[in-house]
Amino acid sequence: MGYCYTKGGGLVCDSCDSDANVKKRHCPHTVDGLPYCPAPALCNACWEKYGKNKIHAGCKEPAAARQQEMDDERAAIDGGALIVTTAWGDWDSCVPSGFVGVLFRGKGIDAFRLIRKTDYDPGRKKYLSDYPDARIWEAPHPACFVA
């Protein structure tokens, strides 16, 4: 989300384009101490019109769910789990055709694995234990990867 500014550097309201008394209205719901959603820039009139409770009303439950997910990931890593951090497709010369090269990380541990493209699903499978058929991928040389 970007903000609009006047030539003088003042914020412009996201709702009415006013540049008087415009402030970023930060989300009161947080995940790891950071606001859950981007802060809209609203003037005082629009803030009164829409209100804090309306603008961020839908943030409470998803923020709590995301915080729980983050807490669960930290607990899993503390328990020894390795989580997907980076992946390379077979477009990279170091990754065999039909595979995804994946770097899993845990507490002080890096594990490189090859996973079949058809099995790789970081949205639902985020831990090394989710990929029982993963092949060991000898730690490739960093220069091998295309930026």
Asked whether the beta carbons of 22 and 8 are under 8 A apart, the reply is: no
- Answer positive or negative: Cα dihedral of 50, 55, 61, 67: negative
> Between 2 and 65, whose confidence is greater?
65
**Taking Cα atoms as reference points, which of 144, 70, 143, 77 lies closest to residue 111?**
77
Please provide the average confidence, as pLDDT, over all residues in the chain.
Answer: 90
Q: What is the pLDDT of residue 93?
A: 84
pLDDT, one tens digit per residue, over 50-82 is 876 689 999 999 999 999 999 999 999 999 999
**pLDDT, tens digit, for every residue of 109-132?**
999 999 999 999 988 899 999 999
On the question of pLDDT at 145 being above 60, the answer is no
Is residue 134 within 8 A of residue 87, CB to CB? The reply is no
pLDDT at 4 over 70: yes
Higher pLDDT, 92 or 139: 92
What is the token pair recorded at 144?
């091998």
pTM of the model as a whole: 0.71
Residue with tokens 């295309």: 146
Mean pLDDT of 73-100: 93
Strand partners, 106: 109
Q: Inform me whether the pLDDT recorded for 147 exceeds 50.
A: no
Q: What's residue 105's pLDDT?
A: 95
